[in-house]
Amino acid sequence: MKTNIQRSPSNQLIYNTITPLLFTLTSFTSQASEFDEMVEQHNLSVNQQIELTSNKMDTLYAKEDLNTVEEEQLFQLENSLDELYETLM
């Protein structure tokens, strides 16, 4: 059973002001936690892509002579790697 507590007008004003702020803070904290999880998952995915791209580049760099197609592929991998690093949050 909920008991009604009489509040003075000034206390009621404080209560009416603080209650929504507390709700907003709780909601914000929850959203921030969800956002942190999303950023962490994104960064893990990007780091995996960076590792794969780096491995492909290492394979091409290890070759003595690159043909035109391989040189173009290496150029594209370098650009892709730059873009991946830029997307890390």
Mean pLDDT by 10 residues, the chain (89 residues): 62 76 76 87 95 96 93 96 88
CA 59 to mean position of chain CA atoms: 30
What pLDDT shows up at residue 14? 76
What pLDDT shows up at residue 24? 75
Model's pTM, two decimal places? Answer: 0.65
Asked whether 89 and 42 are in contact (CB, 8 A), the reply is: yes
What pLDDT shows up at residue 30? 79
What pLDDT shows up at residue 21? 75
Tokens of 18: 């603080």
